[in-house]
Structure 1
């Protein structure tokens, strides 16, 4: 048995008489109830012939059932591939054609997948929990694999990268890598069995899967599952449920700032933010409005979640903190290591970091180091500063423009709800700086807003950084965790400009 699955079992046994998980209806389950349910699932897989190296697609909303299903599959040696529960029948079918899953696990309200009728049979599955049933599709012609306990080096999880800067890649994470990633979180956040957290971000994302789910379970804490974030209920439930910490995104932070609710008396030690850059101006406004420590961090799927986090006792704004549990280098374009203060590509190596992708991507590694594609620098005290994605940097007339710096300047204008700065083609300069703005109020006349934008840009930005195009829109394309898909946005805007 892998150390990961053994420790997950120990959590349920040790907390047999203690409430460990709460479902969306605020029903608590003890460790003994959860252990019984997990064993029912494990026996189910064994009876159906799901075992060593079977890949099972999981498309569920956040729930207690979700974490128990995953644990049971890991214990029989299977591999889990979680995907967005909003995936369409066509998307699921395309994945199945590519990867030939042994089973599919879907929400009960998903209509029967007629497109898979020739390959799978729907097996209804009743749950003993106070949660909806789930649907299970088992492959009709399936080679029964032996039920083997997994080793630490076996793959446990397959996830797609977010695809914000290119085609998503399949990341295979082993039991050992997931365990190391979870303990990096436990150590940096000083998690104990007295901690209690919401899972608000989707479980098919590495943040919720490892940082909220596994780190809490391995530290014997308590989990409260919610299908999605509710701005209206957030502060009320933080108080009533005595939550001690939560992992959020900058998008959620921005939503909380747009509302009038204030936190009541609460037990929060901190909130952490990840999955996308947090603009300094947003961080400052949050700190001014709410007396809750907001801790910035940095992670990626390929590192089993967390790479760096600000120390709880000494957080520094405008940084993502110090490296947790791995090695880091800042490299120039020739892979030479750069000194403190110099910006280059971030490279990683460690027990939680992959050494290859499931689909060969040799250009993503150099001499055993993962090349993240992120740009950053280390200061003299070891804090990491993120400068953006290498593919998102705008190159105008041979000069690099960091879109985050432009966004942080312009977001101060009160009429802006959201902003994304991208590079669009320019015949003379190669790229031009283009700002796509979602205003708080729709208007057909933007002359006054454009005047304010140009005035602020001229005052605070270098000439090369100043946007030459402003586009007003009703939305920005985002992935499931609220991260702006800049590459997709740039493609859409470039096509619009081409057709104009």
Structure 2
């Protein structure tokens, strides 16, 4: 048995009489009830011949069932691949045709899918909890694989990267990598059995799955599952449920700032933000409004979650903090190590860092170091400062423009709800700086807004950084964690410009 699965079992046994998990209806389950449910799942897989190295696709909303189902699959030696429960039938068809899954678990409200009915047999819905049952599909003529207790170095999880800079890559994470990453979170956040957290971000992303779910379970804390973030319920439930910490995204922080609510009976030790850059102006506004530490961090799927986090007692503004259990170095374009304070590509090495992708990507590694594609620098005290993604940098006339710096300047204008700065093709300069803006109020006349944008840009930005084009929109393309998909946005803008040409 891997140390990960053994410790997850121990958590349920040790908390037999204690409420450990809460469902969306605020019903608590004790460790004894959860252990019984997890064994139901494990016996189910054994009876159906799902075992060693079987890959099971999981497309569920956040739930107690989700956490227990993946634990049961790991215990029989299977590999879990989480996907967005909103995945379309066409997307499911493409995944299945490429990877031939042994089983698929979906929400019970999913209607019959032609692609699945041809290849899989629908099984009776399964769950003994008060949560909605889930629908299971087993592959026809599946060769039964024996249950084989996994070791630490076997694959436990397959996830796709967000794909904001290109085609998503498959990341394979072992039991040990997941365990090591979870313990890094426990150490950095000083988690104990007295802590409790909401899981609001989607479980098919590494943040919720490892940083919230696994780290809390391995520290014997309490988990409160919610299908999604609710702006009007957040502070009420934080107060009523005595939650001690929550992992959020900058998009959620921005939404909270747009509302008037304040937490009552606040038991929060801190809020944690990750999955996308947090603009300094947003951070400053949050600190002004709320007496709650907002801790910046940095992570990625390839690191099984967390890479750095600001120390709780010594957070540093405009930094994503220090590494916990991971080696970091900054490289120039020739993969030479740069000195303290110099900006270059961030490279990683550690027990929770992958050494290869499941689909070969040798250019992403250098002598055992993962090349992240992110740009940043380390200061004298080991704090990491991120300046952007190397593939998102705008190159205008041979000069690099950091889109985050432009966004952070312009977001101060009160009429802006959201902003994304991208590079679009320019015949003379290669790329031009384009700002796509979602205003708080829709208008057909943007002359006043454009005047304010140009005035601020001229006052605070270098000439090369100043946008030469402003586009007003009703929304920005994002992934499930609220991260703006700049590559997709740039493609959409370019296609629209071609139509208008």
TM range (shorter): over 0.9
Deviations 1:345-381 (A, max 9, x none): 0000100000000000000001110000000000111
Gap regions ≥5 residues in structure 1: none
Deviations 1:246-296 (A, max 9, x none): 000000000000011111121100000000000000000000000000000
Q: Which residue of 2 aligns with 1:443?
A: 443
TM-score of the superposed pair, with normalisation by structure 2:
0.99
Q: Which residue of 2 aligns with 1:290?
A: 290
Q: Which residue of 2 aligns with 1:340?
A: 340
* Equivalent residues of 1:119, 1:141 under 8 A apart: no
Say if 2:261 is the partner of 1:225.
no
Aligned residues: 500
Q: Which residue of 2 aligns with 1:409?
A: 409
Q: Which residue of 2 aligns with 1:424?
A: 424
Structure 2 SS opposite 1:232? helix
Q: Which residue of 2 aligns with 1:374?
A: 374
Deviations 1:377-424 (A, max 9, x none): 001111000010100000001100000000000000000000000000
Say if 2:233 is the partner of 1:246.
no
Structure 2 SS opposite 1:125? coil
1:40 deviates by 0.6
Say if 2:152 is the partner of 1:145.
no
Gap regions ≥5 residues in structure 2: none
Deviates more, 1:40-49 or 1:124-133: 124-133
Structure 2 SS opposite 1:183? helix
Distance between the aligned counterparts of 1:436 and 1:243, measured in 2?
36
Q: Which residue of 2 aligns with 1:464?
A: 464
* Equivalent residues of 2:126, 2:135 under 8 A apart: no
1:151 deviates by 0.5
Deviations 1:124-153 (A, max 9, x none): 123110001100000011111110000000
TM-score of the superposed pair, with normalisation by structure 1:
1.00
1:116 deviates by 2.1
Distance between the aligned counterparts of 1:126 and 1:58, measured in 2?
14
Q: Which residue of 1 aligns with 2:182?
A: 182
Structure 2 SS opposite 1:185? helix
Structure 2 SS opposite 1:450? helix
* Equivalent residues of 2:158, 2:173 under 8 A apart: yes
1:118 deviates by 2.0
Q: Which residue of 2 aligns with 1:20?
A: 20
1:49 deviates by 0.1
Distance between the aligned counterparts of 1:68 and 1:27, measured in 2?
16
Alpha-carbon RMSD across the aligned residues, in angstroms, is 0.5
Say if 2:31 is the partner of 1:31.
yes
Distance between the aligned counterparts of 1:118 and 1:258, measured in 2?
48
* Equivalent residues of 1:247, 1:274 under 8 A apart: yes
1:14 deviates by 0.2
Q: How does 1:481-492 map to 2 (within 5 A)?
A: 481-492=481-492
* Equivalent residues of 1:426, 1:432 under 8 A apart: yes
Q: Which residue of 2 aligns with 1:212?
A: 212
Distance between the aligned counterparts of 1:385 and 1:372, measured in 2?
14
Distance between the aligned counterparts of 2:270 and 2:7, measured in 1?
26
Distance between the aligned counterparts of 2:93 and 2:156, measured in 1?
22
1:122 deviates by 0.4
Q: Which residue of 1 aligns with 2:391?
A: 391
Structure 2 SS opposite 1:233? helix
1:114 deviates by 1.6
Divergent runs of 4+, >4 A = none
Structure 2 SS opposite 1:385? strand
Q: How does 1:77-92 map to 2 (within 5 A)?
A: 77-92=77-92
Q: Which residue of 2 aligns with 1:66?
A: 66
1:230 deviates by 0.2
Structure 2 SS opposite 1:345? strand
Distance between the aligned counterparts of 1:274 and 1:126, measured in 2?
34
Q: Which residue of 1 aligns with 2:476?
A: 476
Distance between the aligned counterparts of 2:127 and 2:406, measured in 1?
51
Structure 2 SS opposite 1:317? coil
Distance between the aligned counterparts of 1:469 and 1:356, measured in 2?
40
1:244 deviates by 0.1
Distance between the aligned counterparts of 2:263 and 2:402, measured in 1?
34
Distance between the aligned counterparts of 1:115 and 1:377, measured in 2?
48
Deviations 1:311-348 (A, max 9, x none): 00000110000011111110000000001111100000
Q: Which residue of 1 aligns with 2:101?
A: 101
